[in-house]
Structure 1
Amino acid sequence: MEKEFFTVRSLAMYLDISEQNCYVLSRQGVIPGRVKVGKSIRFNKAVVVEWLKNGGANDDSKD
């Protein structure tokens, strides 16, 4: 099964936030599923959707 990924642009549109805010939130660990592909950043779509289903909150229990 092939995994699907968001680009920064497509994730920003999906979340209705700016691309810059998407970069900031991903660096802060707020948005999960971040994957670096060379110099590009992608987000695992399944991880992001699950995170949103759970309210989009940080899971501080992993710290």
Structure 2
Amino acid sequence: MEKEYLTVRTLAGLLDMSEQTVYKLLREGIIPGRVKVGKSVRFNKEVVMDWLQRGGDTDE
């Protein structure tokens, strides 16, 4: 199965927040599943969806 990745814009829409807030949460280490592609950031969709189902818990 091929992994799916979300852009910051797509994740912001999914979470109903601004892209700036996604970047802030990323800097704070709150959103898991970050993958750097050059200067771009993507998020592993499976990891993010699991995190959301756990209620956005930052403890692994």
Please report the TM-score for the alignment, with normalisation by the length of structure 1: 0.91
- 3-state DSSP of counterpart to 2:48: helix
Q: CA deviation at 1:57?
A: 1.4
- Partners of 1:37 and 1:28 lie apart in 2 by 19
Moved over 6 A (4+): none
Residue 12, structure 1, aligned to residue 12, structure 2? yes
Give 2:36's aligned residue: 36
For structure 1, the 5+ residue unaligned runs are none
Residue 27, structure 1, aligned to residue 27, structure 2? yes
Q: Percent identity?
A: 65
Alignment-mate amino acid for residue 47 of structure 2: V
- Partners of 2:27 and 2:34 lie apart in 1 by 9
- Bigger CA radius of gyration: 1
Alignment-mate amino acid for residue 30 of structure 1: I
Q: How large is the Cα RMSD of the aligned pairs?
A: 0.9
| Count of residue correspondences | 60
For structure 2, the 5+ residue unaligned runs are none
Give 2:58's aligned residue: 58
- 3-state DSSP of counterpart to 1:31: coil
